[in-house]
Structure 1
Amino acid sequence: MKWILRIAVTLAVVFGLFFLITRPEDAASAIQGLVGGIVGVGDSVGRFFSSLASVE
């Protein structure tokens, strides 16, 4: 089972490098979207816990 994970990770890294080399603008846009999504999730979680803490 470990070898399947190793193959999947290797394929993902190779695909990422290929995408970065052949289409750098699209790769940058994809990374910006990913980071924006992560920041959005963090903001939502922060607002959720803030609303829990401010229950009157």
Structure 2
Amino acid sequence: MAKLKKWLGFAAIAFVAFYLLTQPESAAGVIHTGLDGLMNAADSLSRFVNALAV
């Protein structure tokens, strides 16, 4: 079972590397979208905590 997880990890890394090398613009868009989502979540959390303090 441990060997299967190891090989699946290698396969996932290889897939990501292949995706980044063959479609860099699309990969950058995915990263940008993910970071925007994290920033929106942080902003929402900040507003929530500020509302509790008032």
Aligned residue number for residue 14 of structure 1: 14
CA–CA distance in structure 1, aligned partners of residues 53 and 2 of structure 2: 42
Alpha-carbon RMSD: 1.7
Partner of 2:27: 27
* Bigger RCO (CA 8 Å, 6+ sep): 2
Cα deviation for residue 16 of structure 1 reads 1.4
Report the TM-score, using the length of structure 1 for normalisation.
0.76
Aligned residues: 53
Give the gaps of 5 or more residues in structure 1.
none
Give identity over the alignment, percent.
Answer: 34
Pair 1:30–1:52, CA change in 2 (3 A): same
CA distance in 2, matches of 1:29, 1:47: 27
